[in-house]
Amino acid sequence: MNKATVRDIDVNGKRVLMRVDFNVPVKNGVVTDDTRIQAALPTIKYILNHNAKLILMSHRGRPKGKVIPEMNMDPVAKRLEEVLGKPVTKLNECVGEEVKKKVMAMKPGDVILLENTRFYPGEKKNDPEFAKKLASLGEVYVNDAFGTAHRAHASTVGVTEYIPVCVSGFLIEKELKELGKMLTNPEKPFYAILGGAKVKDKIGVIDNLANICDGILIGGGMAFTFLKAEGYEIGKSLLDPNLDRVKKIMKTLSEKGVILALPVDVVVTDDPKGEGTSKTVDADKIPADMMGVDIGPKTIEKFSSLISMAKTIFWNGPMGIFEVNEFATGTKAVAQAVAKMNGVSVIGGGDSVAAVKEAGLSDKMTHISTGGGASLEFIEGKELPGIAALTDKEKLPIVM
């Protein structure tokens, strides 16, 4: 995608309406993880350093079109002020006369953060009237929220209908570059590690990766549907209804010569909360009254060996019930193996990112994606609405 970026346009003196992903965890009114705020800083600083007026908009949580005080942007504004080292004016609304008045009174270098966009029903509905009101605040539009690029919302797509110049920020540019390079020209061998609970979330991803991968390593809850397709009994483990689809995937991978690595042993339990009996068994000996919750030591060794041979790795999804410490061993081991491999490592969001951070291995990874769902849809080959709506570089002379 040859989309224009903020460095391709002149923002001097202009009102820049920027969509960021500040959907960060907050506890007792304090941001507990500011990774997403930090990720947007390069673009924010660039815009401010080029004498622009910056209006930021983001969602937080899932308020479903209603005002939920606990999901307001106040803690975010406070944290942004701290990391930016300059005042941030937080407004209590996204649109309206008061908002317009404050925005029009801005001076170059000023920063305004609008209230949670999802407090408005028009956001998720991509309502044209709501989008038009948001768009009226800016002269140019910058999208740097990769985590919501797969959503056709008013603040990600709708506003682009009413602002002539719409470009990406540096975070989206980096995401597209790293993910795109992995899909079009990966250094071989290229292995994908896929985990998580549901096969259906990854079917399209596996279909696309089958054309470019040398091997796919399957862990997490989704592994048990693959084991079931192999003819194994899986006890009370997760079983996806797409069993026939999984059998078809396995056949396709075999025909294309793509390695499919499944668990050879698993940790099983009678209580997924970690308060019952647990043990490690071979993958073909899962007791009828127990469920699989993590990969076992032999599988860790098998996966680690494959990972060590790779030149490119894509990882999305934990190897077990990662949030329960007793069942996080496999996920942590995979994180360590990926950190040691000599090549390109791309972490595709979600619990995989959490595992990497918890293990203190973030700086050992080539790229950590800020958008789990968006990165998966991109790898699946789907068009991301928030990206597609941006201005192509070759069209810039016309629209400017």
Residue among 78, 311, 373, 393 flagged as catalytic? 373
User: Which of 327, 342, 357 corresponds to the end of one domain?
Assistant: 342
Q: Do residues 224 and 77 both lie within one domain?
A: no
Q: Do residues 277 and 143 both lie within one domain?
A: no
Q: Is the pLDDT of residue 128 over 70?
A: yes
Identify any residues that bridge with 167 across adjacent strands, giving them in sequence order.
Answer: 142
Question: Sorting pLDDT into bands at 50, 70 and 90, what band is 399?
Answer: low
Q: Is the pLDDT of residue 239 over 80?
A: yes
Q: Is the pLDDT of residue 398 over 90?
A: no
Residue among 158, 196, 219, 350 flagged as catalytic? 350
Q: Do residues 274 and 197 both lie within one domain?
A: yes
Q: Do residues 21 and 161 both lie within one domain?
A: yes
Residue 312, domain extent:
188-342
What pLDDT does 121 receive?
A: 98
Residue among 14, 36, 79, 174 flagged as catalytic? 36
Question: Sorting pLDDT into bands at 50, 70 and 90, what band is 171?
Answer: very high
In angstroms, the CA 95 to CA 199 distance is 40
In a domain, residue 355? The reply is no
Number of domains in the chain: 2
198 is catalytic: yes
pLDDT tens-digit profile of 364-373? 999 999 888 8
122 is catalytic: no
36 is catalytic: yes
In a domain, residue 171? The reply is yes
pTM of the model: 0.89
What pLDDT does 307 receive?
A: 98
In a domain, residue 366? The reply is no
